[in-house]
Amino acid sequence: MGFVANFLEKHEEGILYVIFGGLSVVVSWGTYALFVLAGIDISVSNILSIICSLIFAFATNKWFVFKSRSLKRNILVKEIISFFGFRILTIIFIRTLGFEILIRYFGLNQSIFGVEGAVALVIVTVIETILNYLFSKFIVFRKNKEKENA
């Protein structure tokens, strides 16, 4: 097997997480645009687009990234609650509070391409992505005997 094939096989989960994460951003931005064009208030459009992207992220992470194929009700409910719960926590503590801390206390409000605060946004996005991956891998979609037999 060649280098590329070995690399892809070894890092399949991480690569798929990044790919589907990127597609989740496309879903978020695309649905936001559709909602706004449909005349829905921008704040409501933002919330609806976040919900759409989280549903997409849950489905693709469950099925393709972490290959949690169980549809047993108790397992599915645990996965849904923990997935959305951890996402809400990272949005509150990393994306929101972390962003404010980086801006206010560390002065990281520098612009990228004229967008003020983009440096802080990049930093919190990287941290948020890593934490979401770890929560998903080791808690939400962790492999165990009950799931494997489902």
In a domain, 99, yes or no: yes
Cβ contacts of residue 64 below 8 Å, gap of 6+?
16, 20
Same domain (yes/no): 76, 63: no
Boundary of a domain, candidates 16, 41, 67: 67
Enumerate the H helices of 3-117 as residue ranges: 3-10, 12-37, 42-60, 73-90, 99-104
In a domain, 149, yes or no: no
CA angle 125, 89, 103 (to 5 degrees): 45
Q: How confident is the model at residue 130 (pLDDT cuts 50, 70, 90)?
A: very high
Same domain (yes/no): 119, 87: yes
CB 88 within 8 A of CB 80: no
Query: CA 65 to CA 1: how far, in whole Å?
Result: 23
Please give the residue range of the domain that contains residue 139. Answer: 69-143
Query: CA 14 to CA 21: how far, in whole Å?
Result: 10
In a domain, 37, yes or no: yes
Query: CA 103 to CA 109: how far, in whole Å?
Result: 5
Q: How confident is the model at residue 144 (pLDDT cuts 50, 70, 90)?
A: confident
Specify the number of domains making up the chain. 2
pLDDT in tens, 64-108: 999 999 999 999 999 999 999 999 999 999 989 999 999 999 999
Same domain (yes/no): 59, 75: no
Boundary of a domain, candidates 67, 99, 117: 67
Same domain (yes/no): 13, 50: yes
Residue listed under structure tokens 């919190």: 124
CB atoms within 10 A of CB 82: 16
Same domain (yes/no): 1, 42: yes
In a domain, 148, yes or no: no
Same domain (yes/no): 57, 79: no
